[in-house]
Chains A and B, each alone.
Chain A
Amino acid sequence: MAESQTEVRIDPAAAAAAEPGRSPWIDAWHRLRRNRLAVAGGAVVVVLGLLCAIGPLFSQSFEEQNLDLGAIAPNAAHWLGTDTLGRDLFARLLYGGRISIMVGLVATFVALVIGVSYGAIAGFAGGKADAVMMRIVDIMYALPFTIFVILLMVFFGRNIFLLFFAIGAVEWLTMARIVRGQVLTVKRMEFIEAARALGFGRRRIIFRHIIPNVLGPIIVYTTLTIPAVMLLEAFLSFLGLGVQPPMSSWGVLIKDGADKMEEFWWLLVFPGSVFSLMLFSLNFLGDGLRDALDVRAAKD
């Protein structure tokens, strides 16, 4: 018995030479880089994000009206044409993108904070507290939340800060479920038991061993929540319940375009394409991250 054990023991120096020790995060990064769709998605997200963030500083004013001009088709002066009030569509797209992306990020952050703390508490606590907390989540799943968001937006005057919280309050449920499930699984794993056996404190176990192992799914699901949130914002704006003029978002622009598409096709086609492109890229990036960070599939 003792002999066979010495046989399988690997010389540490040889092992280090064969495969240099890499953190799982670097592993994941390499896997992600090999996924061309995810890289392309990430690039588009970064480019669109940067354009929307700094573009409005340089481009024409998004709200400057030119009624004499009216709606004109794309040309050299106005790359994507102008709307019926003579406002440059390209500038409006960049500015609207700012709001859409901001809603996406802030509302996702709200959902992240609520979902992760709720799920982690339920998972750590376990037992009765866990059962009650998850039962509440189950019940809330059954509520028609989109309808509630619509009512909230109508009744409380379509305030953009309310929009953040209303959407965040809808989207945290799945996050809570995922985090709680992960915490429960990780908590029972052997390396946690080993850490406990080695006499590590509770804090060290939570922060050094559990949290890093739960982080992967959180990152993946966060990336996939952003497009869902942007979609919900655009949905509300399309119904006239989201961002209010003179502010603008991609949903508002699509709504305007849909109203006027019979004469001015570009007002619908460009905002619709940019918005869909953004959703595409975010989804591909999220899928790629899931493949790259999936802890279970990491070793093949």
Chain B
Amino acid sequence: MLRFIGRRLLESIPVMLIIITGTFFMQRFVPGGPFTAEKAVTPEVQRNLEAYYHLNDPLWKQYRDYLWDLTPKRFHPQALASGLDLKAAFGIDFRPSFKYPNRTVNEIIADKLPVSLELGAWSLAVALVFGLTLGILAAIRRNTWIDYMCSSLAMVGICVPTFVLGPLLVLALAIHLGWFNASGWYSPIDRVLPCATLGSVYAAYIARLTRGGVLEVLNQDYIRTARAKGASETRIILKHALRGGLLPVVSFLGPAVAGILTGSFVIETIFQIPGLGREFVNSAFNRDYTLVLGTVILYAGLIVICNLAVDVVQVWLNPKLKFE
């Protein structure tokens, strides 16, 4: 298994390189730069700014130096505990931001990423809890009104986009009923609406996949054996059927995590959450070269790691697959 993880990590290096290179050069070859929107500065200031950000170096040199700054040089994961400092932990330096003077991209990430991670984690929890419950219910009460209700609820979840559902929930539950705040990220209750909105789509997909997976497994011989041996229905569902039924759900978790990451851009805009997603969209508008690159690389890295974790869990759940 360690070899599998090692090989997959090695394989992800070219993927990350493609992403870094693509983003780096795409930013540079399009018109406009981080300073074009600002009021005209004197030539000296302009020169100093460009020198500070190494914009005067030849492009290949900028690229090489940037790659070097990104290369992990040490491994002290315990440094992450005190404030997510990627530089202290791995020696990864995303450089100063262009638009926030005196702040490095590392600091901005350390500041905003925990918020986005919390949003994402709770949304995933919502998706798993509701999706699995609805899916199992629908499967064991197949073709009854419970099944139809769960399945239509799942269809609603899939077809009503988060950017429609979110504002509608705010309109109904926050503005009209006053149960929640319309926006903000202060008290625990502020987590409810954003996480429910972001989790709903994935809960819907997971419910469908769970229903299909459990139904397929319920026809297998080993379920009949378990029944014949007198195992209780609860035990059969939770111990035997769920394990097989979970497989399609686990393979869906990779795309789900990626979707929750990008979905957070919209959710953080709707609910005014100070997370990294909103920061990423703003940085793209602002042409904040280093912040765009930093967030893109971070997101890509997170997606690569999550996909790897999903693959490992998949093999662990289904011994028929092997680590190859």
Which residues of A are at the interface with B, using a C-beta cutoff of 8 A?
Answer: 139, 142-144, 146-148, 150-152, 154-156, 227, 231, 234-235, 238-239, 251, 254-255, 257-258, 261-262, 265, 268-269, 272, 275-276, 279-280, 283-284
Contacts and interface: CB of A to CB of B under 8 A. Distances in A.
Interface in B11-50: 12, 14-15, 18-19, 22-23, 26-27, 30, 32
Interface in B267-308: 269-270, 280-281, 284-285, 292, 296, 299-300, 303-304, 307
Query: What interface size band does chain B fall in?
Result: 35 or more
Interface of B: 12, 14-15, 18-19, 22-23, 26-27, 30, 32, 155, 158-161, 163-164, 166-168, 170-171, 175, 182, 258, 261-262, 265-266, 269-270, 280-281, 284-285, 292, 296, 299-300, 303-304, 307
Nearest to A262: B175
B155 A144 contact: no
Given A144-B299, A234-B161, A272-B164, A151 B26 contact: yes
Contact of A154 (B163, B168, B285): B285
A272 B202 CA distance: 19
A234 B163 contact: yes
Given A258-B270, A261-B170, A283-B159, A275 B164 contact: yes
Given A142-B15, A239-B281, A272-B168, A147 B161 contact: no
A154 B284 contact: yes
Closest 8 CB pairs of A and B: A258-B167, A272-B164, A155-B30, A154-B284, A146-B262, A279-B159, A280-B159, A238-B163
Contacts of B158: 283
Contacts of B284: 150-151, 154-155
B164 A156 contact: no
A154 B295 CA distance: 15
A280 B171 CA distance: 22
B60 to A, nearest CB: 21
Nearest to A265: B171
A144 B261 contact: yes
A258 B262 contact: no
Nearest to B176: A265
Contacts of B19: 143-144
A139 B14 CA distance: 9
